[in-house]
Structure 1
Amino acid sequence: MKLVVVSAGLSVPSSTRLLADRLAAATAGRAPGPVDLRVVELRDLAVEIAHNFTNGFPGRALSAAIDDVTSADGLIVVTPVFSASYSGLFKSFFDVLDKDALAGKPVLIGATGGTGRHSLVLEHALRPLFAYLRAVVVPTGVYAASEDWGAEGLSERIERAAGELLALMTALTVASASASASVAVQAGPEVAVPAQPAPGRADGFHVVPFEEQLAALRV
């Protein structure tokens, strides 16, 4: 199971990255088996993202990040809040993805900000964005304001969101495996089926005389 984290934090250390790491640890910690965890730090890709807009080609690091995101079984995406919405860097990364890259993919959304007044960014900005991209967004989003760190409630929201993401990833993985097995069974060995000849012809063809075709057109 492959879990990819996309963090749009700009500072070092970053509260955005901290929230992303806690969400990833909570999700991986609930998994019954090994989890292939990858982290995409958008701060390191800013130049390549800008170049992709001007020349249409992703650089090596950006291309690797895009491959990780599109091949993931689940995503955790976290952005800082700028001007009451997601950051421009966060949006730019998802703008360079193919329009179908996230279709049907489970996504856990998160955001960080200086005040709790921006908590609705999850609902009025992030959730509509990923709904447009046809991702499957888990019900619980996690917003962390400055005063939330160490306070009651944040850990519970993280655990609840992680459980929802893992449940969705597991269900879709099982469904995909079952569908593949069903297709393989239905395909089975190839069997040649002889063509059934039309009445009066041994070779399977039926010729309609031109007179009959012309009469049909006149009716």
Structure 2
Amino acid sequence: MKRKIVVVSAGLSSPSSSRLLADQLHAASSAELTGLGEQSEVQVVELRDLAVDIAHHLVTGYAPPALQEVIDGVQRADGIIAVTPVFSASFSGLFKSFFDLIDPKSLDSTPVLLGATGGTARHSLVIDYALRPLFSYFRAAVIPTGVFASPDDWGDARLAQRVNQAAGEFAEVIHRTAPKDPAATMESLPFEQLLANINQQN
């Protein structure tokens, strides 16, 4: 069974440094998974392409088909790589707005690799002080090593080493985690069965 990896990039420009970092992370992760005998299928999501749909969903409660497909993909993923640019010392509003649409229960124990990009190394703590708490709320299995890249980091061997370290940790956690059952994540039990389950527990 192929492991489904969803890469979420919240970069606003094209091309963006967030997408560049996301591409490096998923390439390294795919290579690490292959080394562990795992096949992977990668879906890359550019949130800027969905910005209008995300805003509409927040105010109407309705997700257009393209956005709903992405939401379903994230909720069914065996692993998530999430990369955001830094604005005002935190994740971008687009990044947060998208994850506000995700069912918190769907990411329980899902391996998540965090990345961020910013104009200066002073923003590097955003991973631990903003991103990590967000995904802890989701009860996701957040990888210990996060990757931050400023303009001075591109082409630096230390960034490549950190990408490889994070990818190795990410692949190991996915390898140890049972694949998600897509049908189970979408299953909705009848009210009578839910009531019966509650009565059995009492």
Q: TM-score range by the shorter chain?
A: 0.7 to 0.9
Matched, 1:90 2:95: yes
Alignment map for 1:55-134 (pairs within 5 Å): 55-134=60-139
Structure 1 residues 95-126: Cα deviation after superposition (integer angstroms, max 9, x where no partner): 01112121110000000001000000000000
Matched, 1:40 2:45: yes
**Across the two proteins, how many residue pairs are aligned to each other?**
176
Coordinate RMSD, CA, aligned? 1.3
The TM-score with structure 2 as length reference comes to 0.85
1:151 positional shift: 1.4
Alignment map for 1:125-144 (pairs within 5 Å): 125-144=130-149
Match of 1:201 in 2: none
Match of 1:180 in 2: none
Match of 1:173 in 2: 178
Task: Report the 3-state secondary structure (helix = DSSP H, G, I; strand = E; otherwise coil) of the residue aligned with 1:57.
Answer: coil
**4+ aligned runs moved over 3 Å, structure 1:** none
| Structure 1 Cα separation of the partners of residues 138 and 38 of structure 2 | 29
Kindly indicate whether structure 1 or structure 2 has the higher relative contact order, using CA contacts under 8 Å at least 6 residues apart. 2
Match of 2:20 in 1: 18
Task: Give the structure with the larger helix fraction.
Answer: 2
| Structure 1 Cα separation of the partners of residues 135 and 103 of structure 2 | 13
1:34 positional shift: 2.3
| Structure 2 Cα separation of the partners of residues 83 and 21 of structure 1 | 24
| Structure 2 Cα separation of the partners of residues 47 and 153 of structure 1 | 37
Letter in 2 for 1:121: V
Task: Assess, with a 3 A threshold, how the Cα gap between structure 1 residues 66 and 115 changes in structure 2: closer, same or farther.
Answer: same
The TM-score with structure 1 as length reference comes to 0.78
